[in-house]
């Protein structure tokens, strides 16, 4: 019966049609048990939080009074007190890695209270992860090769991370710095930043987790700075599911995972045998021959080179002709003429080399003697008596030739009388 009376003394009573009775039975709502951030992983010696609701067993309503609660795994027991039906228990991880079953119970209940919690039931598993994640290798770009400018646009980085239990994917970052070549201090970096990394394949757990990120270096490095030499420093940070950070051993700002060489714009000089042309393909001893040499620069910046021009004569005698310094503008070519005076007859060819190892050689050509010198050269080594005799013979032959010419002309002038032959 419920009776209600107002201030004027009027009353009203009503007999309840339904019957009810009080029950002191209470329990932990096992469906509500969960770890902080829904993450059951914890590093050795670290803490995490366990949440659970305490309700009346019969009606399911939250118990508003403070109730003590305990959670246990292995030989460890932890306690908490509920507030308006919700409880929070701080859990310390074991110093030993492993997966441990967790049970929960109510303790020190008020007088008359009855605990109906299934205290033997495993309500959760706590994973103590003592393995610190680490970067096992850099897959791309190749750390032993220069990163060419043509590859700067959407430059992709791929690394492998070892973490058997799993990574917190939203914590993964790729950090980068652009540092002048040869500088070992990160404080001298021109630019820097970081990017999120994503898992290429798999679940984010394993001994070789592939992670990737992309940087648009083409948009980052100004055009005016591309003639300079730069290094790109990179390293990876992030946490595993237990909150342990990726190892920073040889993977930090001062000692990065990799120092990648960014290719600078430079001259690219081209020298080949087709670029060497001789003014005369049939040279003669002591007669000058002009050697025309053309060097092409297919690079983006001006360049300069030194040309060493040599000739090999008679098939074996090498002789330096000239050493020339030749500047060549970007995306252009330059030509120069070098004078060569053959000194001996026989096979000869021109060889041209540069300090950076470029080398070209022309096809062999035949150098001939000067024909006007044949007779005189044939008299080399003759004594004075032989020369005198040779001169006398020459003049005698010239006199005889003159006589024959004159006598022949006189015979042509004789007039015959035809009557003498009648």
pLDDT tens-digit readout, 227-256: 788 999 999 999 999 999 999 999 999 999
207, 292: one domain: no
143, 116: one domain: no
Length of the chain in terms of residues written: 422
Phi then psi dihedrals of residue 302, to 5 deg? -65, 150
Structural domain including 78 reads: 25-128
Burial of 262: CB neighbours in 10 Å, binned 0-12, 13-18, 19+:
buried
229, 169: one domain: yes
Sequence-distant (6+) residues with CB within 8 A of 212 are: 156, 157, 158, 159, 197, 198, 200
Which H helix or E strand runs over 229? none
| Residue 364 domain-assigned (yes or no) | yes
pLDDT for the residue 410: 55
Q: Of the candidates 234, 262, 290, which is a domain's last residue?
A: 262
Give the dihedral sign, CA 68/73/78/82: negative
158, 102: one domain: no
Share of the chain above pLDDT 90, in %: 52
* Count of domains observed in the chain: 4
Tokens read off for 22: 């009080």
Look at residue 84 and tell me whether its pLDDT is greater than 50: yes
Mean pLDDT of the 109-127 span: 89
| Residue 9 domain-assigned (yes or no) | no
Answer for the pair 49, 90: CB distance below 8 angstroms, yes or no: yes
What CATH number does the domain containing 183 carry? 2.60.40
Count how many Cα atoms sit within 13 Å of the Cα of residue 159 in the half-sphere of its side chain: 29
Look at residue 138 and tell me whether its pLDDT is greater than 90: yes
185, 236: one domain: yes
233, 173: one domain: yes
Distance CA 131, CA 133 (A): 6
| Residue 4 domain-assigned (yes or no) | no
* Helix, strand, coil percentages, rounded to 5, for the chain: 15, 45, 40
Answer for the pair 137, 46: CB distance below 8 angstroms, yes or no: no
117, 42: one domain: yes
Mean pLDDT of the 408-419 span: 52
| Residue 414 domain-assigned (yes or no) | no
Mean pLDDT of the 187-200 span: 93
Answer for the pair 362, 312: CB distance below 8 angstroms, yes or no: no
pLDDT for the residue 370: 77
114, 148: one domain: no
| Residue 13 domain-assigned (yes or no) | no
| Cβ neighbour number for residue 409 with a 10 Å cutoff | 9
Answer for the pair 62, 85: CB distance below 8 angstroms, yes or no: yes
What CATH number does the domain containing 345 carry? 2.60.40.10
pLDDT for the residue 384: 61
Distance CA 302, CA 300 (A): 7
Write the pLDDT tens digit of every residue in 258-309. Answer: 999 998 877 778 888 888 999 988 899 999 999 999 998 887 777 788 999 9
Q: Which long-range contacts (CB under 8 A, 24 or more apart) does 197-202 make?
A: 197/159, 197/172, 197/173, 197/236, 197/238, 198/169, 198/172, 199/167, 199/169, 200/158
176, 254: one domain: yes
Confidence band, pLDDT 50/70/90 cuts, at residue 390 = low
Mean pLDDT of the 69-76 span: 93
Residue among 327, 315, 321, 329 nearest 353 (CA): 321
């Amino acid at each position: 019966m419920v009776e209600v009376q107002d201030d004027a003394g009027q009353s009203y009573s009503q007999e309840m049609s339904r019957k009810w009775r009080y029950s002191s039975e209470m329990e932990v709502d096992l469906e509500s048990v969960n770890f902080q951030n829904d993450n059951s992983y914890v590093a050795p010696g670290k803490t995490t939080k366990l949440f659970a609701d305490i309700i009346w067993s019969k009606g399911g309503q939250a118990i508003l009074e403070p109730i003590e609660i305990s959670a246990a795994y292995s030989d460890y027991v932890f306690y908490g007190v509920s507030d308006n039906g919700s409880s929070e228990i701080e859990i310390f991880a074991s110093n030993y890695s492993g997966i441990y079953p967790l049970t929960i119970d109510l303790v020190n209940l008020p007088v008359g209270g009855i605990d109906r919690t299934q205290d033997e039931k495993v309500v959760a598993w706590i994973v103590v992860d003592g393995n610190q994640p680490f970067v096992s290798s850099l897959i791309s770009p190749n750390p032993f090769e220069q990163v060419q400018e043509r590859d700067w646009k959407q430059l992709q980085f791929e690394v492998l991370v070892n973490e058997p239990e799993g990574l917190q994917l939203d914590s993964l970052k790729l950090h980068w710095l652009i540092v002048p070549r040869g500088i070992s201090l990160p404080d001298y970096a021109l630019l820097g930043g970081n990017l999120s990394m994503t898992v290429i394949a798999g679940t984010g757990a394993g001994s070789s987790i592939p992670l990737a990120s992309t940087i648009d270096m083409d948009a980052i490095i100004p055009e005016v700075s591309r003639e300079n030499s730069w290094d790109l420093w990179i390293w990876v940070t992030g946490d595993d599911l237990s909150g342990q950070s990726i190892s920073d051993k040889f993977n930090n700002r001062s000692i990065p995972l990799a120092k990648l060489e960014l290719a600078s714009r430079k001259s690219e000089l081209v020298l080949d045998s087709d670029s060497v042309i001789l003014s005369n393909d049939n040279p003669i001893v002591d007669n000058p021959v002009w050697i025309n040499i053309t060097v092409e620069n297919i690079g983006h910046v001006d360049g300069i080179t030194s040309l060493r021009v040599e000739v090999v004569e008679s098939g074996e005698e090498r002789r330096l002709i000239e050493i020339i310094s030749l500047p060549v503008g970007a995306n252009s070519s330059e030509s120069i003429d070098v004078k060569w005076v053959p000194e001996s007859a026989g096979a000869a060819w021109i060889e041209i080399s540069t300090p950076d190892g470029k080398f070209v050689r022309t096809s062999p050509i035949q150098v001939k003697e000067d024909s006007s010198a044949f007779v005189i050269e044939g008299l080399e080594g003759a004594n004075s008596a032989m020369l005198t005799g040779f001169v006398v013979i020459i003049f005698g032959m010239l006199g005889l030739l003159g006589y024959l010419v004159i006598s022949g002309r006189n015979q042509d002038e004789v007039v015959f009388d035809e009557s003498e032959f009648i």
